[in-house]
A = this chain, B = another copy of it.
């Protein structure tokens, strides 16, 4: 961990990731570049989703939109967790979620998966990062990201999004060896993909394990966790914060605490005080307002925000965020209210 930077000049977000004291709690919002913003919808009305992710100027533009509108404390690259999977040789469409033309099921399909580096895999991602970094204020770090191998495995084997991912899970249990082969290849590719993002200029890296919560702890330990640990270990030398988000991971935190992640994202089900107690004071937490709370009255929303700040503190190492991606029907004015409230309240004595 890099704890040597100067407190005066280091961006708030990075200081909080390193569990260093900050003048207030930094805030950003999962899926902050997205459909709830009219300026995003305007661009999306002209290009489809895949084109948007693969056109560096446009991806950079939508990445910057919430920074301009809200003066938020971190930017996150606009992309999709499935982006680096295409370069492995997997054919997909977005309809509107990712649909895999030939879901992975056989050893020969798995053998055929390629392990490209970022430049071969998704050169447009490195280009987008460079454009973003030219425009981004120095106080606002850029987060790069990837899907966790188990979460990508779920999509690649199921073939599409699902409530239960029953195809993917039955494959996992019926074919543990083949499953491990897929997970290992995905791990190799995500290490290269994340490393490439850091080399292009990403100042923090986040691993989204959206479907970690499908697994009991015992199966998480057997299948999902080892690849997360390997990614974190392989990227430790980069000296930038590594954030891991085990979605719906309430029952996995005892395991996750040893992952080596600098920051753990917490969904809204687990209170931040419980998470901090389990994870210890060396690990920062990121979260965790229920995204649907943005539909409450401002009075309710304000007190919910203060509650999250109270649970996340006292003491350093809390990055305010939602507990899941923002809903597409959210009023952007509520987000402006949220950002302002976090700023104000986190400078008060809430205890």
Contact = CB atoms under 8 A, between A and B. Distances in A.
Given A217-B271, A250-B251, A250-B269, A166 B329 contact: yes
A122 interface: no
Interface stretch (A25-33, A75-83, A289-297): A289-297
Contact of A170 (B248, B268, B329): B329
Contacts of A327: 164, 166, 170
A296 B176 CA distance: 9
A174 interface: yes
A264 B166 CA distance: 25
A269 B329 contact: no
Contacts of A248: 213, 248, 269
A274 B329 CA distance: 38
A269 B292 contact: no
Nearest to A290: B216
A163 interface: yes
A323 B327 CA distance: 29
B219 A269 contact: no
Interface residues of A, number: 36
A279 to B, nearest CB: 15
A169 interface: yes
A171 to B, nearest CB: 8
Contacts of A169: 290, 292, 295
Interface string A190-224: 00000000000000000000000101111100000
A173 B213 contact: no
Contact of A269 (B216, B271, B300, B307): B216
A103 B303 CA distance: 30
Given A218-B307, A251-B250, A329-B166, A172 B269 contact: no
A55 interface: no
B292 A173 contact: yes
A47 B293 CA distance: 43
Contact of A270 (B163, B251, B307): B251
Given A176-B300, A218-B307, 7 more contacts: A163-B163, A164-B327, A171-B295, A174-B297, A219-B290, A250-B251, A250-B269
30 contacts: A161-B163, A163-B163, A166-B292, A166-B327, A166-B329, A169-B290, A169-B295, A170-B292, A170-B295, A170-B327, A171-B295, A173-B290, A173-B293, A173-B300, A174-B296, A174-B297, A176-B300, A213-B248, A215-B269, A216-B268, A216-B269, A216-B290, A216-B323, A217-B269, A219-B290, A248-B269, A250-B250, A251-B270, A251-B271, A251-B274
